[in-house]
Structure 1
C-alpha cells in the first residue's frame, strides 16, 4: 500500500464520513450534532489537499473524490439540516429551498472542476464548504439560543436560497493566497460589522456565534468587495 497516497485519501474519506454522521444525526433529531459534524467535515476537507501537496501525491483521482465527498457533506447534509430545523414548515417553498441548495452545490462543484485551470487567485462564487457551513453554523446558533427560524417568516428560506445562489454566482471571493482580487477597505469594514453584530446578538452562545460570524462575514465580504470592483471597473471604462 502506498501510504503517501493513503493519508490524504483517508482525510477525504473522513470528510464524507462526517457528512454521513451529520445526516444520520439530523434524521435522529440531534440537529446540534448534525451541524457540528458538518464543521468536522470542513476540517477534514481542509487537511486532505494540504497533506497531498506536502507529500507530493496530488492526483486527479483525489480531486474527483474530494468533489463527491463535498457534495454529500456541504450540499446534501446542510440542506437536510435546514429542512429538519425549519424548512419543513414552509410546504413547497421549503422543499424548493432545500432542493435548490443541494442542486446549487452540485453545480458549484462541477463548475469549479471545469474551470480549475482557468480561474486563479479567487473563487468564482461562494465555495461550497463555506456555504454549507454557513447554513450549519447558523442552525447551531439558532438551536443554542432557542430561536425558531420559522418565527422570522419567509426570511429563513430566502436566506438559504440566497446562500445557494451565491455558490453558483459570479461573485469573486478572494482565496487570500495573494496575487488575486484587490481587497477594498469598505468590504473589510462591512464584514467586521457583520461579525460584530452576530457576536453581539449571539453572546449567550459564544462558540456557535463565532462560527456563524466567520462564514456570514466572509459571504458578505465577497459580495461587497466584488460589487466595488465592478463599479470601479465601470467607472474606469
Structure 2
C-alpha cells in the first residue's frame, strides 16, 4: 500500500481537479445554472483526458490513482448529469424522469466498475462515462422536449453498459477541443 506522500502526484492533483469540478458542477445544478454545470463537467472531462497520460508518463502508483479517478468520474459524469437530467429536463415526468436519471447514474457506476476488469485495446468497451455525461449535459442545455431527453438518457445508459466498441480518442487533442467547443455557454 502506498504512503500518503506517494499519493501526492501531478496526476492525482489533476484527478482531484476533476473531482472539484464535479462538486462545483453539482452546486451549479442545485442553483439551476445548467450552463455553468455543463462547463464544469467539460473541465472535468479535460482533467480526465490528461490525468491518465500524466500518470503513465510519471510511472506512478496505479492503484490509488485509478480508484480516485473512478470516484471523480462518477461524480462529474454520473451524479452531476443525472441531477441535471432530472432537475432540468425530466422533472416534467416525475416518476419516469427520476427512474431515467437513476438508471443513467447506475449505468455509469457499473461502467466504471467494469472498466478495470475488461481488457481495453484501441477501443473502449461500452460508451465511456465522460462522453455520456457530456451528452446528457448538452441534452439538458438544448431545451429539448422531455421525451427526447428521456430517450437520449436511456440510450446513453444502455450504451455505457453495452459491449459496443467505441474508439479511444484520449490521445487526440481534437477530442479536447471538441469538448470545450460543445460546452461553450456562448453558443446558446
Q: How does 1:1-237 map to 2 (within 5 A)?
A: 5-115=8-118, 118-140=119-141, 142=142, 148-150=143-145, 154-175=147-168, 210-211=181-182
Choose between structure 1 and 2 for higher RCO, CA contacts under 8 A separated by at least 6 residues.
Answer: 2
- The structural deviation recorded for 1:139 is 2.6
The answer to whether the 8 A contact 2:7-2:64 is kept is no
TM-score by length of 2: 0.84
TM-score by length of 1: 0.67
Q: Which consecutive unaligned segments of at least 5 residues does structure 1 have?
A: 143-147, 179-206, 213-237
The answer to whether the 8 A contact 2:18-2:45 is kept is yes
Distance 1:47 1:79 in 2: 24
How many residues get paired? 174
The answer to whether the 8 A contact 1:22-1:38 is kept is yes
Q: Which consecutive unaligned segments of at least 5 residues does structure 2 have?
A: 172-177, 184-188
